[in-house]
Structure formats: C-alpha cells, structure tokens
Amino acid sequence: MFPADLSIEEVLTDRNATPVADFSWHKAPITSVEWHTSDTSVFAASGADDQVTLWDLSVEQDEDEAPIVQSANGSDPQVPPQLLFVHQGQKDVKELHWHPQIPGMLLTTASDSFNAFKTISV
C-alpha cells in the first residue's frame, strides 16, 4: 500500500500526495461520517447543511454514459455517480450510525428530531 521506506508520518505530510477522490456536495461542515458495517465501499455523511448523504465508492461513471445536462442558468449541481441518496428535513444533524441489527438502516440525531430510515440502494 505504502512504499516500505516511508513512515506513516512521511506519507501523511507528503506535499506531492493527491486525493483518491474529491466529493463536493455538502455546502457546510461535515458533522458525522460512518462507514457501513458490512459494505466497505459505502459510507454515510451528515452536514451542517441539514443533509444526510449515502455514498458508494465502488460506483464509477461509464465512459460512454451521457454527461449530466445542466439547466440553462447552470444552477443545477452535478451529481457525482457515487452519491446514492440524500436525506433532508432535519435541522442541525449531529450524528449518524448504521443500525447494528438491521442491515442498511441508518439512524440520525438532530436538534429537532431523530430519524431511522433504510434506502433501497444499500
């Protein structure tokens, strides 16, 4: 994974390192991230923008797939192919956790409520 002659500190501070991926979706700080309990490519993230998102890093856009068309004013965001689901409706989402006994169920806590939901995509 890492070159044998480098320490972890050297890898973390390498100025030439590039990110594996960059997902620009949330418009405010991330408040919680948790990897799926059994699917190592899936994680959930919540943000101060009152969104909970589900991501699958194993999804890649096909080269022959048609590009996403934006509206005339260019205001529609480009949705990354790895973004599976966006949950909205809670205020100040602070924490999220995968349910330990129900595969794919996500629990979230916020200042106004808590939610338990399961999407069909995970």
In 1-122, at which residue ranges do the beta strands (DSSP E only) sit?
Answer: 30-35, 42-47, 51-56, 83-88, 95-98, 105-109, 114-118
Listing from the earlier edge strand, what are the strands of the sheet with 30-35? 30-35, 42-47, 51-56, 83-88
Phi, psi (rounded to 5 degrees) for 85: -160, 140
Tell me: pLDDT of 6 over 80: no
Q: What is the DSSP letter of 12?
A: H
52-105 pLDDT per residue, tens: 999 998 988 766 665 555 555 566 668 888 899 999 989 999 999 999 999 889
Give the span between the Cα atoms of 54 and 113, in whole angstroms.
Answer: 19
Strand partners, 117: 106
What is the pLDDT averaged over residues 14-22? Answer: 71
What is the residue whose two structure tokens read 């200042």? Answer: 111
The average pLDDT across 25-35 equals: 92
pLDDT at position 25 over 80: yes
Q: Residue 44 above 70 pLDDT? A: yes
pLDDT for 116 beyond 90: yes
Q: Which residue has the tokens 């004013």?
A: 73
Backbone φ and ψ of 66, nearest 5°: -65, 140
Q: Which residues contact 27 (CB under 8 A, 6 or more apart)?
A: 47, 49
pTM for the structure as a whole? 0.73
Taking the C-alpha atoms of residue 110 and residue 90, their distance in angstroms, rounded to an integer, is 6
Instruction: Name the band, by pLDDT with cuts 50, 70 and 90, for residue 33.
Output: very high
Select from 91, 81, 94, 105 the least CA-distant residue to 21.
81
